[in-house]
Amino acid sequence: MALCTFWIVRDPWGFNERLFALYYPRLLALAENAGQRETRAALISQAEGRTLELGAGSGINLVHYTAKVTELVITEPSPHMVKHLESELTKERLRCGSVKLLCAGAESLPFEDMSFDTIVATYILCTTPDPALVLREIHRLLRPGGRYLFVEHVHAGEGTPLGRFQDLVELPHRYLAAGCHPNRRTERLLERSKLELVRLEHGRQPRAVPTVRPRIVGTAERSSA
């Protein structure tokens, strides 16, 4: 298995990343049970062909892939989260084709240009040190006409009380959530990328803490031109 690289604010013992791997699946379950599961299912069921999921975390997306996915490659940079993924993969509930797990970050991946029909990423751009680089990598890996399916929590908006609070607590938030920035201007990054936005919906992550409640869901494509 490849050497893992994990995007975090480190403490000397890596305690925060271990703690995050323990509590994050439980915290996420609150939102899933409050309606986010249906949002994920509607989005991820659109995946087809050779599909790459970036930062698969605890494997919460896996059950939503359909038989339209002929091959699924899942990546995750945290060795602690990889343990959750390996457990999920033993449950044999997947409806898609073959599955491969790679322990790697999303900024530089060992795949050829234009080698995927679909790329899925849910709540990962908040954590990577260079989200613009990740979007360039997504564009590189998608085939012409290929789709990028995403869900991300975002900054609440310039001048809003919540937006100001997100900016204020960024550093402690990053520590407690193993590198997660609560105030990423992700929509702006998407608009500046080479990807073409096809659909973008604003909403709220149900039953989430306020700093990660504002959410966008959408689809982007690599131009076939």
Q: What is the pLDDT of residue 11?
A: 52
pLDDT tens track, the chain, 225 positions: 333 434 444 555 555 666 666 667 777 777 888 888 999 999 999 999 999 999 988 888 998 999 999 999 999 888 777 877 888 788 767 888 889 998 888 888 999 999 999 999 999 999 888 999 999 999 999 999 999 999 999 999 999 999 999 999 999 888 888 788 999 999 999 999 999 999 999 999 998 889 999 999 999 999 876
State residue 115's pLDDT score: 97
Cα angle at 132 between 126 and 138, to 5 degrees? Answer: 95
DSSP-derived secondary structure letter, 62: G
pLDDT at 217: 97
pTM of the model: 0.87
CA dist 151 and 82 (Å) reads 21
Amino acid 179: pLDDT = 82
Judge contact between 51 and 65, C-beta under 8 A.
yes
Residue written as tokens 């050829």? 112
- Chain centroid, CA 70 distance in Å: 21
Structure token digits, residue 127? 């954590």
Which two structure tokens, joined as six digits, stand for 78?
């945290």
- For residue 16, the model assigns a pLDDT of 60
Q: Are 19 and 78 in contact (CB under 8 A)?
A: no
Burial classification of residue 9, based on how many CB atoms lie within 10 Å of its CB (0-12 exposed, 13-18 middle, 19 or more buried):
middle
Strand 116-122 with 49-54, pairing: parallel
The Cβ of residue 45 has, within 10 Å, a number of other Cβ atoms equal to 14
pLDDT for res 3: 38
pLDDT score of 93: 74
The pLDDT of residue 191 is 95
* Closest by Cα among 127, 86, 126 to 1: 86
Every domain of the chain and the residues it spans: 15-221
**The CATH number fitting domain 15-221, selected from 3.40.50.300, 3.40.50.980, 3.40.50.150, 3.40.50.10070:** 3.40.50.150
Q: How far is CA 81 from CA 47, 60, 104, 140, 149, in A?
A: 23, 11, 12, 26, 21
